[in-house]
């Protein structure tokens, strides 16, 4: 059995529909889906706001590479074009962590190295797993606490939007 945390992001087109496409595509393995958050863009700041969410998924069959491939298949379904790094996209599926697996392969870095500094991942994750830990980095709640207040304030729960 492997358990993964996946982060979803979209800031092009019908953002909620793209997140839902991912949730529906993972319905056979879905354990929990976070609320939806509207978030100011980081990295490249001159682009539309994102919708972000986090999913917890479990499967007896998939290892970490299997999760990466499932995520990439969903990105292709969303007709994602790979253009600018950190630029706008219909759907981004990142593998945040898979059990305690560590990987330094550039095709699959685990835990995803952006996680400790991204309120857009930590906040939705905490909403569905308050005691979550990021292997090698400690408690997710502590990671969030260490972030600058303005980055936390840039993440807004959209109670009017639901993934399913
Ligand atoms: N944990 C991971 N989850 C998803 N993709 C990963 C992971 N580690 C490495 N990658 C690689 O990253 C590449 C995709 O990068 P992508 O264009 O989505 O980056 P980005 O979303 O712009 O930036 P970031 O990875 O910092 O969020 C893929 O080639 C994939 O193999
Ligand atoms: N708010 C927010 N900003 C981003 C995001 C994201 O998911 N949310 N993803 C990016 C590329 O991975 C770049 N910037």
In ligand 1, the atom with minimum distance to the C-alpha of 9 is 21
> What contacts 126, CB < 8 A, 6 or more positions away?
132, 140, 141, 144
Residue 163 falls inside a structural domain: no
Ligand 2: residues within 6 Å at CB?
A: 9, 39-43, 50, 52, 86, 92, 120
Measured from the alpha carbon of residue 10, the closest ligand is 2
* CB-CB contact of 74 with 20 (8 Å): no
Measured from the alpha carbon of residue 121, the closest ligand is 2
Ligand 1 proximity of 94 Cβ (cutoff 6 Å): yes
Cα-flanking dihedrals φ and ψ of residue 127, to 5°? -65, -30
Residue 147 falls inside a structural domain: yes
What was the pLDDT predicted at 29? 98
Measured from the alpha carbon of residue 95, the closest ligand is 1
Residue 81 falls inside a structural domain: yes
What was the pLDDT predicted at 70? 98
> If you measure from the C-alpha of residue 60 to the centroid of ligand 2, how many angstroms do you get, rounded to a whole number?
30
Ligand 1 proximity of 105 Cβ (cutoff 6 Å): no
HSE at residue 16, side-chain half, CA atoms within 13 A, is 11
What was the pLDDT predicted at 80? 84
Residue 89 falls inside a structural domain: yes
Q: DSSP per residue over 38-75, as a string? A: EE---SS-SSPPEEEEEEEEEESS--HHHHHHHHHHHH
How many domains does the chain contain in total? 1
CATH of the domain at 146: 3.30.70.560
Residue 162 falls inside a structural domain: no
The string of pLDDT tens digits covering residues 139-162 is: 999 999 999 999 999 999 999 999
Residue range of the domain that includes 142: 2-157
> If you measure from the C-alpha of residue 88 to the centroid of ligand 2, how many angstroms do you get, rounded to a whole number?
8
What was the pLDDT predicted at 152? 98
> If you measure from the C-alpha of residue 2 to the centroid of ligand 1, how many angstroms do you get, rounded to a whole number?
20
pLDDT < 70: residue spans in the chain: none
């Amino acid at each position: 059995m492997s358990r993964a945390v996946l982060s979803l992001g979209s800031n092009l087109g019908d953002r909620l529909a793209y997140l839902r496409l991912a949730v529906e595509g993972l319905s056979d393995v879905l354990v929990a889906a976070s609320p939806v958050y509207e978030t100011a863009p980081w990295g490249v700041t001159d682009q539309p706001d994102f919708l972000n969410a986090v999913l917890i998924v479990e499967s007896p069959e998939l290892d970490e590479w299997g999760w990466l491939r499932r995520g990439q298949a969903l990105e292709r379904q969303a007709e994602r074009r790979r253009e600018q790094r950190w630029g706008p996209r219909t759907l981004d599926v990142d593998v945040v962590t898979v059990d305690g697996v560590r990987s330094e392969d550039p095709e699959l870095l685990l835990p995803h190295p952006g996680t400790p500094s991204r309120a857009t991942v930590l906040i939705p994750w905490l909403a569905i797993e308050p005691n979550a830990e990021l292997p090698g980095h400690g408690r997710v709640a502590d990671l969030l606490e260490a972030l600058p207040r303005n980055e936390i304030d840039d993440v807004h729960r959209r109670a009017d939007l639901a993934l399913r």
